[in-house]
Amino acid sequence: MREYAALGHMEPVQAPYSHDGCYYIPHPAVVGKFRVVFNASAQTSTGVSLNDIQLVGPTIQDSLVNILLRFRRYRVAITADIEKMFGQVLVTSEHQDLQRIIWRESPADNIGVYRLKTVTYGMASSPYNAVRALQQCAVDNCSVSRDEDQAALARDAILTSFYVDDFLTSCANASEGIELARSVDAILSAGKFRLSKWNSNDNQVTMCLSSNASISSYTFNSGETSVLGLKWDSVTDELFYRVEIEPTIDVPTKRSVLREVTRLFDPTGLLSPVVITGKVFIQKMWSVGLSWDTPLPDDLREEWLRYRSKLKALNQVRIERWLGMVRHGRTTLHGFCDASSYAYAAMIYIRTIDDSHAKQLSLLTARRKVAPFKGSTIP
């Protein structure tokens, strides 16, 4: 809370307090990864919360899958994120009193009233407002780059390669990556969006950027890092997974099985055979009419425990990030689909041939679904 005040993200409201047109946001502390969480879904005495009366706004950023696929396109990968993105966007002064909070450092202090001045986590409209401000920044400030072509590339990268505050992109070579990173940084710095936690699989990119004193903040994360729910090792340039399997203590139920299967986050479908097996098992539980907290029958319990025990093998899966695409090479897409009485799926492979005629074949993406209970024929 001291940081909020020091950074100008909140300011005290001077007494006497008028409460007309105001909303007070509860803010519990989360102590796992310590942070403040603002709960604008808390209802007032009218039975309505601030989130209930807000427009959420449309989705204006590119899809997570598209960003990940673009990240895998070329040899040189670059990632970064925006520090305190929401806090860099001011809320108009006439609406700041809808973001009031109460706070005191200790029980001995008087309770103080504050208003939050910036876009706040926990508000229904906040993701849209922050992303919309970022995109407007890209349009308004792209002229800071003297080269028109480079300015256009950087603007398009900001518009298409950000997922909220996470930036992922790939370039054909190191020099292109360095120029793009510098231009994106300059454009966003003009709007007070500060990029940090840069990472790249190319040593030339990291060395060149980190030695440039004019850059706003090239702090680098080397080695393993998270990229939109996946893990990326920038040293080996591989994508991988981290599956945490807790020791089995309780008897498995439909609720606990569903919770564990939904933890298998797989946006591009690379784990489809594993995920669909878990979803087929969930369908079996529904078919026998189990309630949420009833222990599984012996046959289902044994089947589930066998499946669960094998999930740790996902930690051994390593996937090359780079799909082998080059600027003037040849790329073809190959689609397949299949169906059974349990599930059906479609997948796309990508085959690339570079200038030296070297070939590479990779699974690009896949989609799968459990077959419906009352289906027609398998075709």
Q: What does the pLDDT average to over 278-307?
A: 94
Residue 118's CB: how many other CB atoms inside 10 A?
Answer: 21
Q: Minimal CA–CA distance to 202: which of 79, 62, 69, 113? A: 79
The rounded mean pLDDT for the chain is 92
Q: What does the pLDDT average to over 73-89?
A: 95
- CA distances 180 to 81, 148, 153, 170, 218, Å, are 15, 12, 7, 10, 14
pTM over cut 0.85: yes
SS (H, E, C) the chain: CHHHHHCCCEEECCCCCCCCCCCECCCCEECCCCEECCCCCCCCCCCCCCHHHCCCCCCCCCCHHHHHHHHCCCCEEEEEEECCCHHHCECCHHHHHHHEEEECCCCCCCCEEEEECECCCCCCCHHHHHHHHHHHHHHHHHHHCCCHHHHHHHHHHHHHCEECCEEEEEECCHHHHHHHHHHHHHHHHHCCCCEEEEEECCHHHHHHHHCCCCCCCCCECCCEEEECCEEEECCCCEEECCCCCCCCCCCCEHHHHHHHHCCCCCCCCCCHHHHHHHHHHHHHHHHCCCCCCCECCHHHHHHHHHHHHHHHHHHHCEEECCCCCCCCCEEEEEEEEEECCCEEEEEEEEEEECCCCCEEEEEEEEEEEECCCCCCCCC
For the cut 60, the answer to whether the pLDDT of residue 218 exceeds it is no
Top-confidence residue, 374 or 194:
194
pLDDT tens for each residue of 39-72: 999 999 999 999 999 999 999 999 999 999 999 9
Residue 255's CB: how many other CB atoms inside 10 A?
Answer: 12
pLDDT-derived band at 248 (thresholds 50, 70, 90) equals confident
Residue 295 has what pLDDT?
93
pLDDT-derived band at 15 (thresholds 50, 70, 90) equals confident
Q: How far apart are alpha carbons 82 and 86 in whole angstroms?
A: 9
Residue 81 has what pLDDT?
93
Residue 30 has what pLDDT?
83
Q: Is the bond preceding 28 in cis, omega lying within 30 degrees of 0? A: no
Q: What does the pLDDT average to over 191-201?
A: 92
pLDDT-derived band at 315 (thresholds 50, 70, 90) equals very high
Residue 89 has what pLDDT?
97
For the cut 90, the answer to whether the pLDDT of residue 34 exceeds it is no
Residue 71 has what pLDDT?
97
pLDDT-derived band at 217 (thresholds 50, 70, 90) equals low
**Conformation bin of residue 289: beta by default, left when phi > 0, alpha when psi is -120 to 50:** left
- CA distances 233 to 220, 257, 296, 353, Å, are 14, 30, 39, 25
Strands 224-227 and 195-200: unpaired
- CA distances 296 to 219, 259, 293, 369, Å, are 50, 15, 9, 24
Residue 212 has what pLDDT?
64
For the cut 70, the answer to whether the pLDDT of residue 216 exceeds it is no
pLDDT tens for each residue of 142-187: 988 888 999 999 999 999 999 999 999 999 999 999 999 999 999 9
pLDDT-derived band at 214 (thresholds 50, 70, 90) equals low
Residue 303 has what pLDDT?
96
pLDDT tens for each residue of 350-373: 999 998 999 999 999 999 999 988
**Conformation bin of residue 321: beta by default, left when phi > 0, alpha when psi is -120 to 50:** alpha
- CA angle, 259 then 51 then 160, to 5°: 70
For the cut 70, the answer to whether the pLDDT of residue 209 exceeds it is yes
Q: Minimal CA–CA distance to 50: which of 1, 84, 91, 106? A: 91
For the cut 90, the answer to whether the pLDDT of residue 221 exceeds it is no
Q: How far apart are alpha carbons 100 and 94 in whole angstroms?
A: 12
Core vs surface per residue 279-314: b (16+ CB within 10 A) or e = bbbbebbeeeebeeeeebeeebeeebeebbeebeeb
Residue 355 has what pLDDT?
87
For the cut 80, the answer to whether the pLDDT of residue 276 exceeds it is yes
Q: What does the pLDDT average to over 250-270?
A: 92
